[in-house]
Amino acid sequence: MTILDEIIAQKRIEVAQRKEATPVAILEQMPDFKRICLSSRDAVQDLHSTGIIAEFKRKSPSKGIINDKADVAETTQGYVRAGAAVLSVLTDEPFFGGTPADLQAARLANPNTPILRKDFVVDRYQLLEAKAWGADLVLLIAACLTPEEVAELSMQAHDLSLQVLLEVHDEEELDRSLNPNIDLVGVNNRNLKTFKTSVDTSLRLVERIPDTFAKITESGLHDAETMLTLFRAGFDGFLIGEAFMKTADPAAALQTLVTDFTSRMLTSSNLYNS
């Protein structure tokens, strides 16, 4: 059994328990938190600033504890001040140490920034939760969903005005899972079986992603030079967690990376122009 199988098995139990505790009808009656906080947030639009999707992640199955001290409101506000275009908040507790309360706290602290609910979605119920907790986007992971499930869940997400980030790790997952209700396609550089990360995965797959989707490169990113290479290859956005969270001041780490990335962009565009 791979770690992904283990996470999904646990997730199905968890969702069934939460459905018992809070029936669908109650979630469906929740006020539209997103609309209360702000009107039009469009994650795809917002990516055009720094393109950084900054993640709040306390621990992971591959790294163990990354940061158990950071406060979610303070860290996410710091991320936004430092230039994050979008926030990603883990809500999986057993494997990643995240909670629904983390997402709600991030929402309240950052009314104007798009937020991704980072979890393993296997059921429409989790989309209703994401909406009720104030998320703007949800992640769908091709590795643990059939193409039919991806199609169904992405349509349901759109019905709830949630944008969809589809995560893929290889050509086969990409080709079988794309559908018009997907907004962003993320290439996970981390192999979920071996936990090794390689940006070659992103560089290999980028050409295959149609231009109608925003293209995101995910995981294992920590330096501006690599980001520049990925940007030139066609990526619009970068999903980064550990490189920030493992430091004592995650927002400062993001700021440093943004400064470095921007100056490299300027230097390289001057070189191109001269």
Residue type for position 243: A
Place of tokens 């986007």: 137
**Which residue number, 77 or 188, has a Cβ lying nearer to ligand IGP?**
188
What's the CA gap between 227 and 72, in Å, rounded?
A: 25
Out of 218, 230, 257, 258, name the contact with ligand IGP by CB under 6 A. 218
Under rule CB under 6 A, residue 219 binds ligand IGP: yes
- Stretch near ligand IGP under the rule CB under 6 A, chosen from 26-34, 74-82, 203-211, 217-225: 217-225
Which residues touch 195 (CB under 8 Å, ≥6 apart)?
A: 61, 62
**Which residue number, 31 or 64, has a Cβ lying nearer to ligand IGP?**
64
Are 168 and 145 within 8 A, CB to CB?
Answer: no
Under rule CB under 6 A, residue 169 binds ligand IGP: no
What's the CA gap between 82 and 257, in Å, rounded?
A: 10
Under rule CB under 6 A, residue 102 binds ligand IGP: no
Out of 11, 34, 41, 57, name the contact with ligand IGP by CB under 6 A. 57
Place of tokens 């883990």: 90
- Stretch near ligand IGP under the rule CB under 6 A, chosen from 105-113, 126-134, 170-178, 239-247: 239-247
Site for ligand IGP in 119-138 (CB under 6 A): none
Of 93, 112, 89, nearest in space to 10 by CA: 93
Under rule CB under 6 A, residue 236 binds ligand IGP: no
Nearest approach, Cβ of 110 to ligand IGP (angstroms)?
18
Under rule CB under 6 A, residue 240 binds ligand IGP: yes
Are 117 and 91 within 8 A, CB to CB?
Answer: yes
Q: Which tokens in the block code for residue 183? A: 């907004």
Under rule CB under 6 A, residue 173 binds ligand IGP: no
Under rule CB under 6 A, residue 237 binds ligand IGP: no
Return the SS3 of 53. Answer: strand
* Beta-strand relationship, 214-218 and 237-240: parallel
Under rule CB under 6 A, residue 50 binds ligand IGP: no
Q: What is the CA radius of gyration of the chain?
A: 18
Residue closest to ligand IGP when measured from CB atoms = 241
- Stretch near ligand IGP under the rule CB under 6 A, chosen from 13-21, 36-44, 70-78, 213-221: 213-221
What's the CA gap between 7 and 223, in Å, rounded?
A: 30
**Residues in contact with ligand IGP by the rule CB under 6 A:** 55, 57, 96, 118, 141, 167, 188, 218-221, 239-243
